[in-house]
Amino acid sequence: MNERQGKFFENKSFTDKFVLTPQFAGVGSREVVMTDNTNNKEFWNEYVKYFENKIEEANNDTDAKDKTASDKVYSEYYKKLAVGSEEKLLDFGCGFGRLYPIYKEYTGMCNGYYGIDVSERELELAEKKYTDLKIGKSLFEYDGMSIPFQDDYFDKIICWGVFDACYQEMVIRELLRVLKLNGLLLITGKNNNYFDDDEAAVIAEVNARKKGHPNYFTDVDCLVRQLLEHNASLVEEYYFLRRGDSPKNQAVYKMPEKFYEWTFLIEKTEGYKDFEYQKFSNKFSKHFR
């Protein structure tokens, strides 16, 4: 842990309580005690099968409730990176290598793909599923703090369905550190201020706490303001108003007052300089504070 990361973790509480606001009192228990599993490798190792099932459901069960994005939707956004055959791609939070066959389909190559994940079990599964991938060569275990690559290493980075389970201020800084100048980052997350009547979002937030699943909400306006102030560029932006809109790819393109999820394509421009982000994330949405 370096000095910058040590400061981040100083006085950090790893056990929190939240109390439901009155309008959501019927959704769950009044008080839930949770443990911080953000970088808990054992937790993520046990998560493997659940995530595989969610992807299979998204791809094959059109009537499934509370779906995640299918590979078809995932591919549509991946294509926005326009990864070239000679470029290096970082798949941040690669899991079992879901992105790899999509990457290979569009580039026809295998040697520009790099995946990192906190779960060694996910990496082992990726290596087993795809013989091109090897732990220590194209797959790397991540400690949750430092991305194990030098500055300005990758041409393109994707952080899909992962940012909301991370220490966001640390991770966005690390992602942009290892991204080359003029490189592109595709990243998704959850907004901290969604609609009061988005019951599916409320239930999902409560259930995540009960399961001990890391769940960080972004003050998106604060994040965007800091990125722009330091000369990063928002190339494309997508806002999904309610839980369930993202898997359907139903987006608006200008930031509304309230929404549930977001997807950005960010360019690290020539003028971008590394900086320490002011806090823009919270373990609870505004409904639970």
Report all structural domains of the chain as residue ranges with CATH numbers, in order of start.
3-288 (3.40.50.150)
The HSE-up count of residue 210 (CA atoms within 13 Å, CB side) is 11
Q: How far apart are CA 265 and CA 253, in angstroms?
A: 12
- Average pLDDT score over the chain: 86
Spatial contact of 156 and 184, defined as CB atoms under 8 Å apart: yes
Integer distance in angstroms from the first to the last C-alpha of the chain?
A: 31
Q: How far apart are CA 161 and CA 94, in angstroms?
A: 10
Q: Is the dihedral of CA 18, 145, 118, 248 positive or negative?
A: positive
Spatial contact of 138 and 129, defined as CB atoms under 8 Å apart: no
User: Averaged over 129-152, what is the pLDDT?
Assistant: 94
Whether the per-residue pLDDT at 5 is higher than 90: the answer is no
pLDDT, residue 212, reads 87
Which stretches of 20-149 are assigned E, i.e. beta strand?
A: 31-35, 89-92, 113-117, 139-141
Whether the per-residue pLDDT at 6 is higher than 70: the answer is no
Q: Is the dihedral of CA 99, 101, 107, 109 positive or negative?
A: positive
The pLDDT confidence band at residue 263, using thresholds 50, 70 and 90, is very high
SS3 164: helix
State pLDDT tens for residues 225-236.
999 999 999 999
Q: Assign residue 125 a region (left: φ > 0; alpha: ψ between -120 and 50; beta: otherwise).
A: alpha
Whether the per-residue pLDDT at 16 is higher than 70: the answer is no
Q: Is the dihedral of CA 76, 117, 177, 134 positive or negative?
A: negative
The pLDDT confidence band at residue 64, using thresholds 50, 70 and 90, is low
pLDDT, residue 62, reads 67
Count of C-beta atoms within a 10 Å radius of residue 39? 16
Whether the per-residue pLDDT at 117 is higher than 50: the answer is yes
Phi, psi of 249 (to 5 degrees): 60, 45
State pLDDT tens for residues 17-55.
444 444 444 444 334 445 677 777 777 677 777 777 877
Residue with the two structure tokens 């899909």:
160
Q: CA-based Rg of the chain, rounded to a whole angstrom?
A: 18
Q: CA separation (Å) from 181 to 72, 104, 270, 271, 272?
A: 29, 24, 6, 9, 8
The pLDDT confidence band at residue 251, using thresholds 50, 70 and 90, is very high
